[in-house]
């Protein structure tokens, strides 16, 4: 069996919270969407 080193991803998930309505969402670090309050 041959072993390969799998690189650790450089991107992370972030939890963002709206200061106005306290809505929390989990987003990808390099997102292309805007976070909207509900």
Question: pTM above the 0.85 mark?
Answer: no
pLDDT given at position 38: 66
pLDDT, tens digit, for every residue of 1-38? 788 888 888 888 989 888 888 888 888 887 777 777 76
Instruction: Please work out, in degrees rounded to the nearest 5, the angle formed at the alpha carbon of residue 7 by the alpha carbons of 2 and 14.
Output: 145
Interacting residues of 13 by C-beta distance below 8 A, sequence separation 6+: 26, 27, 28, 29
pLDDT given at position 35: 73
């Amino acid at each position: 069996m041959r072993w390969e080193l799998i690189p650790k991803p450089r991107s992370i998930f972030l939890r963002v919270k709206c200061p106005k309505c306290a809505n929390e969402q989990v987003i990808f670090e390099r997102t292309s969407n805007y976070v909207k309050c509900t």
